[in-house]
A and B are shown apart, each in its own frame.
Chain A
Amino acid sequence: MIRVTNLTKWYGSFVAVDNISFEVEGGGVVGFLGPNGAGKTTTIRILTCYHPATSGSATIANFDVFADSLEVRRRIGYLPESTPLYPEMRVREYLNFRGKLRGLDHSERGEAIRRVTNRCWLTEFIDRPIGQLSKGMRQRVGLADAIMHDPPVLILDEPTIGLDPTQIRETRNLIRELGERHTVLLSSHILHEVEQTCSRAIIIASGRILASGSPRELRERFSAQGRVVAELKGPVHEVEKGVRAINGVRDLELTSDNGWVRLSVQPKPECDIREDLFRLTHSQGWPLRELHREGATLEDFFVKIIAEQQQRKQ
């Protein structure tokens, strides 16, 4: 549905997007993830035909975003980051205006407005001027506008920014539902959000794609290296000596409090030392009251990738 090939965008002497390629095939919510200034919005603006690329190409439903811009624009629904709207218009007027621009005729518009206002919980506010609505409700108006012509591709740029927790939950549910019928590209800098809503994530930083896969795959790739934490009772020196002897231990931190020793072990890649650790405490007769592997979040993964990248630069 969305195909991006060697896309590069320079702003003057600054490269915002650096030779990225990815593909999104029909259906599902794809997270486009990265810190602020990573190049997410630039990529999205190229995909929505708002800005041209410096080089490379992008197609949506096999139409080129530059050469067949009108065809592409017919097939996308786009919610820009700040949800720009006309404050003097009423919700109904605005949706009607947008529907006309998208070529819906009178009866189609009436039907579409009823459907999207229902879907986005806007029915009560339909005759209110947009300028009087709260940030969360404006966001819903933007979303209603993006889906009113039932486009195959939905592009949402930071759709939950500035919403309160209830609204965030509602919006995420709505996006998940939309993913059942549309291909949704969702940009976000909140990893938690992507983990909750997306079936696939593409991680981008400094204009480059760093990783992609399902949030679970990405998490597993990282949590195989998560620290193992244990708390047991025993003499500090012996514990340290015993644990260091276990095959697969790379690094060890140790604190003791009231006879209890708290261990935080960094295993070597692809090693699970929990079993060996249990055997050690069992054979020595040290009481063990905690043993777990820290569940790495995408957040950790992300921080790590970025740090690695910066190191490489230096």
Chain B
Amino acid sequence: MRNIVTMMQREVGGYFLSPIAYITMAIFLFACGLAFGLGVFQSGAESTLRPLLEFWIIVILVFVLPMLTMRLISEEFRSGTIETLLTVPIKETEIVLGKFLGAFAVYGVLIATLLLYPVILAIFGQLDVMLLICNYIGLVLIGGLYIAVGLFFSACTKHQIIAVLLSFALLALLTFASQGLATITEIGWLRVLLQQVSIRTHFHDFVRGLIDLNHVVFFVTMTGLFLFLTVKRLEMRRWQ
């Protein structure tokens, strides 16, 4: 447990000591601001973040979160620090969870800055607080999954650029393409699978203000699965 906290502190520190966190935040804030200004903040429009959350935010997260996670483990492989890290008494699980929580903390800062928009909406209209809470639960869950996927690909290669591209590819497939692919698939089981793994479908109910246990379980198990795969990837060297 102590090692997890140590790893997490070091990752959060690492983000803010390098330009990555600042660049990622700048891109994120700029893109969200643009989407809010053009899509939500219109006179006469409904006072809800729904247009932003329904589409723009997940597009932005698919691009921004892999940038946040790409260096987490690949950089340790590239610079060789993985060797010093794995030769102190720490378990692979602790490393992976520490890194995951470190990235998640930075993501928490990112989505906290989004609270500015509901505040603006509350000034000009009525704000549904329960809906907002529900939206945030959705954001926390989807962010966790995206970070776990990014972390897994970061553990697969020592090149950050490959890690980021593979994460983009898988996340874009799961988020946007799987529903479309499902409608054109002839094979029954594949269609069901593609429908079931569609992240956007699972996220949609949170945007509408619905907490369905199905979706919560989906996000939690998928996040757990990718974290598990990351641990196994690190342990693989012990079986080579």
Which A residues have a C-beta under 8 Å from some C-beta of B? 45, 48-52, 66, 70-71, 73-74, 76, 78, 80, 82, 84-89, 93, 97-98, 100-103, 142, 145
Contact = CB atoms under 8 A, between A and B. Distances in A.
B81 A73 contact: no
A71 to B, nearest CB: 8
A188 to B, nearest CB: 19
A84 B6 contact: no
B83 A73 contact: no
Nearest to A102: B88
**Which 7 residue pairs are nearest across A and B when measured between Cβ atoms?**
A84-B80, A88-B17, A84-B81, A100-B6, A73-B89, A48-B87, A101-B88
A89 B17 contact: yes
5 contacts: A73-B87, A89-B13, A101-B88, A101-B90, A103-B2
Contacts of A45: 83
A82 B84 CA distance: 11
Contacts of A142: 84
A97 B13 CA distance: 11
From B10, B18, B86, name the one whose CB has the most chain A CB atoms within 10 angstroms. Answer: B10
Given A51-B237, A88-B14, A145 B84 contact: yes
Determine which residue in B81, B82, B87, B91 has the highest number of CB atoms from chain A within 10 A of its CB, and name it.
B87
Interface string B123-143: 000000000000000000000
A96 to B, nearest CB: 10
B89 A102 contact: yes
Given A70-B91, A101-B89, 12 more contacts: A52-B237, A73-B87, A73-B88, A76-B87, A78-B84, A84-B81, A86-B79, A86-B81, A87-B79, A98-B88, A101-B85, A101-B90
B47 interface: no
B81 A50 contact: no
B239 interface: yes
B238 A52 contact: yes
B240 interface: yes
A264 to B, nearest CB: 47
A84 B83 contact: yes
B93 interface: no
A187 to B, nearest CB: 14
Nearest to A54: B240
Interface string B71-115: 000000001111111111111000000000000000000000000
Interface string B13-55: 1100110000000000000000000000000000000000000
Given A51-B240, A88-B18, A89-B17, A97 B10 contact: yes
Interface string B226-238: 0000000000011
Contacts of A51: 237-238, 240
Contacts of B84: 78, 80, 84-85, 98, 142, 145
B3 interface: yes
Contacts of A82: 80
A93 B12 CA distance: 13
Contacts of B6: 97, 100-101
Contacts of A103: 2, 89
Given A85-B81, A100-B2, A93 B13 contact: yes
